[in-house]
Amino acid sequence: MVKRLNLDAMIKREDLEISTTGRGSIGSGGIPVSELQTNRLHYGLLRKPSFQRVTNDWDIDNVVTLIKAFRNGSLIPALILWKSEAGYTFVIDGAHRLSAFIAWVNDDYGAGPISRRFFEDKIPKQQKDYADECRHRVVTEVGSYAEISTILQQENPTRERIKWASNIGKPLDAQWVEGDADTAEDSFLAINQRAVEINETEKYMIVSRRKPNVIAARALVRAATGYEYWSKFEETQREEIKRKAKKIYDVLFEPENADLSRSIEMPIAGKPYSAEALRISLDLVNFANDLRAKKSLDELQNDEDGSKTIRFLDKVYGVVKYVSGDGKASLGLHPSVYFWGATKHHPSAFLAMVSFIQHLNSSGQMIDFCFHRAGFEEFLVANDNIVKHILGKYGGWTKSAPSVFEMYKLIFDGLRNGKASSEILAELIADHRFKGLSEVVEIENSPGKRFTNDSRGATRRRELLRSALRCPLCYARLPISALSDDHIVRVQDGGRGDADNDQLTHPYCNTGFKEYLVSSGREFPSRPAFLAEAAE
């Protein structure tokens, strides 16, 4: 597994758009590594553009290899810098390299003092573990900066160690961009589309960084910690954005330290520190605000005062509150049934389910869904290879989300019409939109002889889902993140608040489904036959 470090805190962000007539008189020469200590002038003036991608692409090997090469006197590619009229030194290219050196000099590989301050002490366990591992490897394979920088003060250092001390005294080479802020931004885009390409999402978020959907996505993906892309707004709006983003984050990305190899209680939107987190956040914001066509995105205006960003976040919460969490409206969808496969998160399935819940809500079918939810989920668990087939056929993310959405509708409609799972599966196989499913089913029923990561993951998932808690009202699986205490006999019917009258349900089953059944006089769903069979 690739162990990527989050070094985003090492260099502060700043808006490029400061008027300038050139690179400035100090914009020349390289940067001595000793000047990267947090109390030195050079470090205090270092900045990276506010729109730059998160500095979390390098793994431990990259960082250790770079520092060792520098210590040994190897050539390090030049940084590309730009000096603003205000005196800041912006990193146009080389942010990962420079951040690695700052991490070394300050002994902070993503969980030290700089990082803790930047992330407001909200650092996940995985990030801390990787930082500790990187520090250990640097100390044992290279040497800490504190040790190597004092070699000449030590008694009788070897020739090799003297050479190391000499090498780290050399400045990091730099080339300087001349021009104004627009020139610097153009240089950034041109350079960063070469070696490590900027994908379309990253490019859109740079160009559209003042639009409310982009600001909202950046706020919610880190629970409003780190750099504040909304810092230009008034304090009232800033605090409102942070509060709403944190609320959404808790629904989407907690428990953030969950481990798929040990648990099925995973965050519904995937890991918040994964490479996909920002993209899925943006896609969710766009889905919730009906920005699915390119024309709509292009016509979206910048947010000048924060009000649009707040409205966008409100709409996002208005959708996700039905999907997960412990709020009264929450269906408490189990993440490993709907959003995770045996080995990874499925963003397309997540976006498709968000759309499906929107569809159920707008068409008044939420109660019907609760009646058939257990069967719906059982079909998904038994036939999870179907989602993998659709992803492979149409591609990931928004490309396959509409097809997964149509599959959800077909399954739900079949259950409402009293069809058995085998009949629904036959309909899916016969549907031209899902061509190729018959081959998938045949292959799934003809496994190889050796265990694979997929087969091991599938076994763990199957057994853990089999023993998962179930809601006594709808009989679907009940995730720990969405527990609601329900009076078996309602308070208004004389029920007491003791343990014998308490049962754990989905929040919506407690506050919406049960209340509907009681008020309408309809019978509660009976225990599904497949549960009785499983218990035998």
Query: How far is the CA of 264 from the CAs of 2, 179, 471, in angstroms?
Result: 22, 53, 17
CA–CA gap between residue 429 and residue 449 (Å, rounded): 27
The confidence score (pLDDT) of residue 111 equals 97
First to last CA, the chain: 40
Task: State percent of the chain over pLDDT 90.
Answer: 63
Instruction: Give the integer Cα–Cα distance in Å for 72 and 339.
Output: 47
Mean pLDDT, the chain, rounded, equals 88
274 vs 260: CA distance, rounded Å: 14
Give CA separation, 462 vs 176, 355, 409, 459, in Å.
57, 26, 24, 5
Stated pTM of the model: 0.82
At 24 the pLDDT is 43
252-283 per-position pLDDT tens digit: 999 988 888 889 999 999 988 877 889 999 99
> Is residue 157 pLDDT above 80, yes or no?
yes
5: left (phi over 0), alpha (psi -120 to 50) or beta: beta
Segment of 95-104, 170-179, 496-505 carrying the highest mean pLDDT: 95-104
Tell me the C-alpha distance between 307 and 236, whole Å: 10
Neighbouring CB atoms inside 10 A of 404's CB total: 23
Residues 154-166 have a mean pLDDT of: 93
Q: What are the pLDDT digits (tens) for 31-56?
A: 999 999 999 999 999 999 988 888 99
Q: pLDDT tens digit string along 66-79?
A: 999 999 999 899 99
Name the 3-class secondary structure at 484: strand
Asked if 88 and 48 touch (Cβ cutoff 8 Å), the reply is no
The pLDDT value given to residue 200 = 80
CA distance 159 to 489: 82
Percentage of residues in the chain having pLDDT higher than 70 = 91
User: Which range has the worst mean pLDDT, 3-7, 34-38, 310-314, 484-488?
Assistant: 484-488
CA distance 3 to 15: 30
- Model confidence band, residue 203 (pLDDT cutoffs 50, 70, 90): confident
Three-class secondary structure of residue 214 per DSSP:
helix
More confident residue, 181 or 383: 383
Cα–Cα distance between 118 and 95 in angstroms, integer?
17
Residue extents of the structural domains in the chain:
13-198, 221-330
pLDDT digits (tens, 9 = 90+) for 457-473: 778 888 889 889 999 99
Instruction: Give me the pLDDT at residue 81, please.
Output: 93
For residues 168 and 147, is the Cβ–Cβ distance under 8 A? no
Which one is predicted more confidently, 189 or 331? Answer: 331
